[in-house]
Amino acid sequence: MATDSPLTFYDDGLTGVDVSALCGKLIVIEGPDGVGRSTQISMLRTWLEHQGHAVMDTGMARSALVGKTIKQAKQGNTLGPLTLNLFYATDIADRLENEILPALRAGFVVLTDRYFFSSIARAVARGSDPVWIRAVFGFALRPHAIFYLRCEVQDLLPRVVYARGGFDYWESGMDVRMGKDLYESFVRYQNRVIRALDAMAPRYHFEIIDATRAPEKVFADLKRRIGKLLAGKKKKAGGKARRKPAALEAAAPAVVEEPVVAAVEA
Ligand SMILES: Nc1ncnc2c1ncn2[C@@H]1O[C@H](COP(=O)(O)OP(=O)(O)OP(=O)(O)O)[C@@H](O)[C@H]1O
Ligand SMILES: [Mg+2]
């Protein structure tokens, strides 16, 4: 749910940080791998700058402290799920302290390409305890708005294949071997990630954006919502949660999905 109220932390937060002077806006674009986050952030940045806003964009694994280390660790074969989760927590803590908070103090619109929600979804997809992983990220700031670009795995497949020519080892969950090959593992793993994000939507007040539409339609939707947020328009109190668009109830992909017990609680 978009809000123009002052920022707070989810839990105890970063110690010694005064959030009362944060006059910028923290906006999260979430969604599974290849859904179109970079495409939207690039258009949003240009649009916001034309409107006269100072914009900072940041994203997962881009921290100066551990961004490169995460990429290096992913090249090797000793990185386990627990360490991966803690690496991502460090990445967000470092970006919060050194990039996001200073930008918010200076009044920037901060667009973040994923926040910790993808980390939770990935952790749950790999079998971590949702209660534990949620607590890990209790230090994080609550954003003003979280836009979840949502689609099904079958919509992701052409985007991932055409954009990159194939499937990435980690984006396919091959570290936990979810299928006999990259394709099967990608479908199963991304399905789990999407279910975990869906399960988190009410708890974290995601605004669900139908990302099966053309990029310009998705952009128009985001512009309308962000425009309202920046104009300080509040949502109607007691508004009902958006129903999932019918198109998103579409048929499951060809690979048979296994039950995801943990995702229900994500
Ligand atoms: N709404 C859309 N419909 C169809 N194709 C799209 C849409 N949005 C983006 N694409 C295409 O999908 C591919 C992936 O888009 P993009 O790089 O923006 O996704 P991403 O979510 O940032 O991916 P990554 O997880 O790799 O960072 C690109 O080829 C892009 O042109
Ligand atoms: Mg991207």
Residue-wise pLDDT tens digits, 138-159: 999 999 999 999 999 999 999 9
Q: What is the pTM of this model?
A: 0.88
Ligand 1 lined by 38 (C-beta under 6 Å):
yes
Q: Which helix (H) or strand (E) holds 36?
A: none
Q: How far apart are CA 19 and CA 9, in angstroms?
A: 9
Give the number of whichever ligand sits closest to the CA of residue 171. 1
pLDDT digit string (tens) for 38-89?
A: 999 999 999 999 999 999 999 999 999 999 999 999 998 888 889 999 999 9
CB 20 within 8 A of CB 6: yes
Here the tokens at position 8 are 């707070």
CB 211 within 8 A of CB 149: yes
Ligand 1 lined by 214 (C-beta under 6 Å):
yes
pLDDT band (50, 70, 90) for residue 32: very high
Torsion angle of C-alpha atoms 7, 206, 120, 33, degrees rounded to 10:
-120
Sign of CA dihedral 95, 97, 103, 104: positive
Q: Show Cβ contacts of residue 231 under 8 Å, excluding neighbours closer than 6 positions.
A: none
CATH entry, 25-258, from 2.60.120.330, 1.20.1250.30, 3.40.50.300, 3.40.50.720: 3.40.50.300
Ordered by start, the domain boundaries in the chain are 25-258
Mutate to test the pocket of ligand 1, among 38, 71, 189, 222 (most ligand atoms within 8 A of CB): 38
Phi and psi at 27, nearest 5°, equal -120, 125
Q: Of 94, 45, 41, nearest to 209 (Cα)?
A: 41
Mutate to test the pocket of ligand 1, among 111, 159, 194, 217 (most ligand atoms within 8 A of CB): 159
